Structure 1
Amino acid sequence: MMEPKLLTLWQHIQTGYVRQAEIADLLELSPKQTSRYMQRWHEEGWFRLQPGKGRGHSTKIEWVKNVESIYEKEMEYIINHESIEKSAKWLTLHWSSECKLRLMRLFQTKLGFNDEGKDKLIIPRKDPFLSFHPLEALDIHSANLVSNIYNRLIYLTEDNEIWPELAHSWESSNRLLRLYIRKGVKFHDGSYLSADDVVRCLESLRDHPIHRDIWFIVQRIHSPAQYVVEINLKQKCSYILHLLSTINSSIYKVNNGKLIGTGSFYLEKNDETKTILRAFEDYYKERALLDCIEFVQMPMGFETIYRSSVKEDDIETYKVESDSGFGIVIMNAYRNSDINKQEVRDYIQYVISARRNEINQLDPKIIPNQSGILRSPSDPYIVDQVPFIEVSKPLVLQTTPYTEKLIFWLKGILETAGIPVKLKEITFEESLQNGYTDHGTDFFIHGEVFEMNHSLSFFHFLLLSSSPLAQVLGDKGERFEILNQYANTPFEKWSELHEQMERRLMKSALILPLYYSKRSVLFSDDIMNISIKNFGYADFSKLWMKPTTI
């Protein structure tokens, strides 16, 4: 059995003298644990050990066996003979870059469609999914999974067309929206969808802390007849029907504490190593063409390729690109620090704007954004030169693992311009709470990916309580005033309102557009019918595998 700590020791400690305390720190062990491990490995013949005498004296290690070379052979056997999830687990060990590349290439041949009587797609994942609940899916990976497990009442296309889903028809008047629910729709447990299920979901949604503000316009949700749901409004609202198209408005039920949907796939398994989606045979629309999708935990740096393991030799691949959102700098002007001064934010905005074109050198997939975050073409936002302004103490810049490269670039250009910066690291999960949690930071880089309809997504980005702009926009009174503006503006005329809001935020130096980004994924040439849907991901329900015999 391979031991991660032994491989870590091999990578960091060469033959020679080393202090035992240094080994303990490296392996994250206590002194007693370190002594026991070192003695055992010595007895197993990995190295010769000559312990130092007295506290603080160095221990001599003389390596006898090449740990990585032996472990690499074990890994090759595991990859070729064991399950994919077991292989993925061992790939996270501390391999050298050359060895890791060789192992990843071998492992890559096991990824893709696996035709064993079933069409199965295996997709590498970097992290476990954070949530499968429609109300709590705040990151795009969770939201994409939700879109495959559940359905919504209606679907809003990229071009503002409204298509029926679980609601086959609807009618509205000044303060009433009536929905007619589709008959014969089954949940994954075999039970049938009812109007009461829809009412329970929508009531939970409008009472949820994250969504409550946007749904303030609703007075009552009830079912006056079988397969009929009515939503009564406090006042006329232009966006109530459109709200039913969002991922968070997906319909679900809870059975014995387990979430159940009506979507084209159901969740069969989820743990630290693997997430499995299986096609739902009784799906009310066309059954998914794949039988199974497996998301397998992989180490960072592993290239994502969707491919067929039927082909053992080199295969032809093609690249599919999609929008992967945008990045902006958000300044927490509500804080009691220098960042609440307009002149400080103006100077930061000027410095970033002057150096923004450099970011493409950090990552070729990100494109400097001189205009705004709206997808529709807009004139470049010109930031005039402003005089240097001194700050009383270093500004605190929030950093997360996924923004690390950009954060160090941003820190560097600001300090060069005379603004001292202190970094504060938070986890990715913590960053999802930026809208309603004060992490003690003055500004941060935020990445956002919109759903299919960008107009509705921008509205959510502005006003959802979990949005990173929630605290920046001011108190609730101001946010409700903005909500009323949208409620009284026809949806097809929202673009003008969006532009006004965007320019207001940029003029106040509360946000600064930084980049657009692209995602590219390689597919083997036997994977067919790739189309991009929610959040820039492929529509899994439409993928299929071309038989190798043709």
Structure 2
Amino acid sequence: MEKHLLALYQYKNQRIPQSQLAAHIGLSQKQLSRNLARWQSEGILDYVSGKGRSRYTVITWHVDIEASYYRQIKLLLNKGYLEDALPYLSWSWSTLTHQKLLTKSNKLLGFTKTPQNEDKLTITKRHSLLSTRPFEVLEAKNASVLMSVFDTLFKVKEDQTVEYHLAHHYECHEQAIDIYLRPHVKFHDGSYLSSVDVKRSLEHARSHQHTADLLEQITRIELIDELALRIHLNKCPQIVALLSHLSLAIYKETEGRHIGTGPYFIKRDNQYTTILKRFNDYYGHAAFIDEIELVYIPEVRKPVIGDSDEPMTTLTKNIGFYYMCQHPDSTLTSDQKQYIKSILKNEYHLTVDRQAPKILGNSNYLKQKEILRPAFDEPIRIDCIEINDAGRQAFDTIFSRHQIAYELINHTFDDSIGGTIQLCGDYYFFGEYLDIPETLAYHHFIFGSSSSIHRLMSQYSWFYLVKSFYQMIPYNSWDRLNRLIDRKLDQHAILYPLYIVEDSITFARSLHGVSLNQYGFINFNQIWRKKSD
């Protein structure tokens, strides 16, 4: 089967110049000409080339390519070979055929048995993993899976209470913290966790571009014994909460792989599927399900967990927000900025049918005064990350209503993650989630070097002064400071939310322990299923 041949077949009833046809199916004109000649020699089609200006390539088909390919993929699915069929689901099919394939694929989801007679749960997910290394966790899609593979020293809950994970206990000194590790913790390769592993993980994080600023207050890490270490600090009132951050999870590198100590290990990972296998030597509560397979299908918006033929339940949770961040070099006047903030905050969430916006759980913004529309001589320019049609339409509806010219500058998600994006608009429009604890997550969102808004925020004159002020006050006072900064940024139209992001999962009622975590997905090790009678 050939991907480009199926893509070409979708234009079988259309008259298109060959240059456009080549672009549509992802080939150069030279490559298309070569392939057309080959396919003609194989008896699949006949064609008359249309290379000149306004000339059309005329193709006569002798084989129904889509029907032939559909039968082959259907055969794979009938035999239960979902993983083999997955690469073909993203090819260019007609809408009807694609839906038939997705429906047939869904029949293979839910609970099955592995060849070893173990329980296996197969779940659809929209995005594959960008990385399997914890220090490269920059977004929720990765975090939602890797939190079952890697462990942190601590976990700080929403109410600021501390749970001990790899750490058994700790002692704080004036400029240091002593951490005592839980004994007999095993990595996924069977070796035991030691203070050397913790030091190695944290030292690497101190030098890595995504995590260096998190640990900038650490001056030295000293080994006390095999299960204890001392971290020397300047000022770091948030150190315990910081060490609960997933990107600072403890890992070990072996044979080019990064392995953890979590309830599951990664058995296989590629662009089509990730398989998690239960780690039977996990130090905590063992997971109930032996194997979890995540199947990546881009068109699937909402995952269905369990057998779709069973009675289902849906859970919904607020997991983040979309925001506008003002570029410090914007030439818009203060009145223009305030007017744009007013209309977008009041109207955007209604236009996209979402909840009224806020960033913090206890955000308390000043009431906006009514503002007269100022003159706008130049279009408003907004940098966006892979904005969808609904987002475009919302901006168009609002700005058209207020007779404001605008331009959306779209960037790829990969450029955003990779740091190669060049922001040149008046505003940056993107989404964010705040991890738990929210206190630390908000600080990292505003001041962290890996934050999506760092390249803008760090250009404001007040940035480094306010950042340093956090280190001068106790961590339990950070909430109050967060609320003040959140209100001030909103008041000056520098950063403000447009709508709340909800996520939901649908799951079979026979599953128990299902809940949405802060990343909008589930904790695999908490799921269990009643055995049928």
The normalised TM-score by structure 1 is 0.88
* Corresponding residue number in structure 2 for 1:349: 341
Structure 1 letter corresponding to 2:379 = P
Q: Find the aligned partners of 2:395 and 2:359 in 1 and give their Cα distance.
A: 19
Structure 1 letter corresponding to 2:471 = A
Deviations 1:480-532 (A, max 9, x none): 43234323333333322111000111111111211112111111233222133
* Corresponding residue number in structure 1 for 2:314: 319
* Corresponding residue number in structure 1 for 2:382: 397
Q: 1:305-316 maps to which residues of 2 (within 5 A)? A: 305-308=304-307, 314-316=309-311
* Corresponding residue number in structure 2 for 1:487: 471
Q: Find the aligned partners of 2:136 and 2:318 in 1 and give their Cα distance.
A: 23
Q: Percent identity?
A: 27
Q: Find the aligned partners of 1:210 and 1:21 in 2 and give their Cα distance.
A: 42
Q: Find the aligned partners of 2:421 and 2:18 in 1 and give their Cα distance.
A: 42
How far residue 68 of structure 1 moved from its aligned partner, in angstroms, is: 3.0
Q: Please say if residues 41 and 47 of structure 1, whose CA atoms lie closer than 8 Å, have aligned partners that are also in contact.
A: yes
1:158 and 1:403, CA in 2 relative to 1: closer, same or farther beyond 3 A?
Answer: farther
Structure 1 letter corresponding to 2:315 = V
Q: Find the aligned partners of 1:527 and 1:491 in 2 and give their Cα distance.
A: 39
Aligned residues: 531
Q: Find the aligned partners of 2:157 and 2:37 in 1 and give their Cα distance.
A: 65
* Corresponding residue number in structure 1 for 2:142: 142
How far residue 32 of structure 1 moved from its aligned partner, in angstroms, is: 4.6
1:59 and 1:177, CA in 2 relative to 1: closer, same or farther beyond 3 A?
Answer: closer
1:317 and 1:169, CA in 2 relative to 1: closer, same or farther beyond 3 A?
Answer: same
Q: Find the aligned partners of 1:477 and 1:234 in 2 and give their Cα distance.
A: 24
1:529 and 1:4, CA in 2 relative to 1: closer, same or farther beyond 3 A?
Answer: same
Structure 2 letter corresponding to 1:267 = I
* Corresponding residue number in structure 2 for 1:432: 417
Q: Find the aligned partners of 2:242 and 2:50 in 1 and give their Cα distance.
A: 69
Counterpart of 1:467 (choices 448, 451, 457) is 451
RMSD: 2.8
Q: 1:178-189 maps to which residues of 2 (within 5 A)? A: 178-189=178-189
Q: Find the aligned partners of 1:18 and 1:470 in 2 and give their Cα distance.
A: 45
Q: Find the aligned partners of 1:75 and 1:317 in 2 and give their Cα distance.
A: 28
* Corresponding residue number in structure 2 for 1:368: 356
Q: Find the aligned partners of 1:283 and 1:265 in 2 and give their Cα distance.
A: 8
Moved more, 167-176 or 51-60: 51-60
Does residue 216 of structure 2 align to residue 216 of structure 1?
A: yes
Does residue 252 of structure 2 align to residue 277 of structure 1?
A: no
- SS of equivalent residue, structure 1 residue 518: strand
- SS of equivalent residue, structure 1 residue 283: coil
Q: 1:156-305 maps to which residues of 2 (within 5 A)? A: 156-235=156-235, 237-301=236-300, 303-305=302-304
Unaligned runs of 5+ in 2: none
1:74 and 1:178, CA in 2 relative to 1: closer, same or farther beyond 3 A?
Answer: same
Does residue 368 of structure 2 align to residue 382 of structure 1?
A: yes
1:49 and 1:266, CA in 2 relative to 1: closer, same or farther beyond 3 A?
Answer: same
- SS of equivalent residue, structure 1 residue 241: helix
* Corresponding residue number in structure 1 for 2:36: 38
Q: Where in structure 1 do 4 or more consecutive aligned residues deviate above 6 Å?
A: 52-56
Moved more, 38-47 or 518-527: 38-47
Deviations 1:331-362 (A, max 9, x none): 112x3x424x433322321231342243334x
* Corresponding residue number in structure 2 for 1:511: 495
Does residue 514 of structure 2 align to residue 530 of structure 1?
A: yes
* Corresponding residue number in structure 1 for 2:433: 449
Q: Find the aligned partners of 2:247 and 2:302 in 1 and give their Cα distance.
A: 30
Does residue 531 of structure 2 align to residue 547 of structure 1?
A: yes
Counterpart of 1:338 (choices 331, 343, 366) is 331
Structure 1 letter corresponding to 2:487 = R
Does residue 63 of structure 2 align to residue 79 of structure 1?
A: no
How far residue 138 of structure 1 moved from its aligned partner, in angstroms, is: 0.3
1:185 and 1:396, CA in 2 relative to 1: closer, same or farther beyond 3 A?
Answer: same
The normalised TM-score by structure 2 is 0.91
Q: Find the aligned partners of 2:298 and 2:313 in 1 and give their Cα distance.
A: 23
1:95 and 1:298, CA in 2 relative to 1: closer, same or farther beyond 3 A?
Answer: same
Structure 1 letter corresponding to 2:105 = F
* Corresponding residue number in structure 2 for 1:28: 26
Structure 2 letter corresponding to 1:367 = Q
Q: Find the aligned partners of 2:95 and 2:258 in 1 and give their Cα distance.
A: 41
Q: Find the aligned partners of 2:465 and 2:52 in 1 and give their Cα distance.
A: 72
How far residue 64 of structure 1 moved from its aligned partner, in angstroms, is: 4.9
1:422 and 1:188, CA in 2 relative to 1: closer, same or farther beyond 3 A?
Answer: same
Moved more, 467-476 or 42-51: 42-51
Unaligned runs of 5+ in 1: none
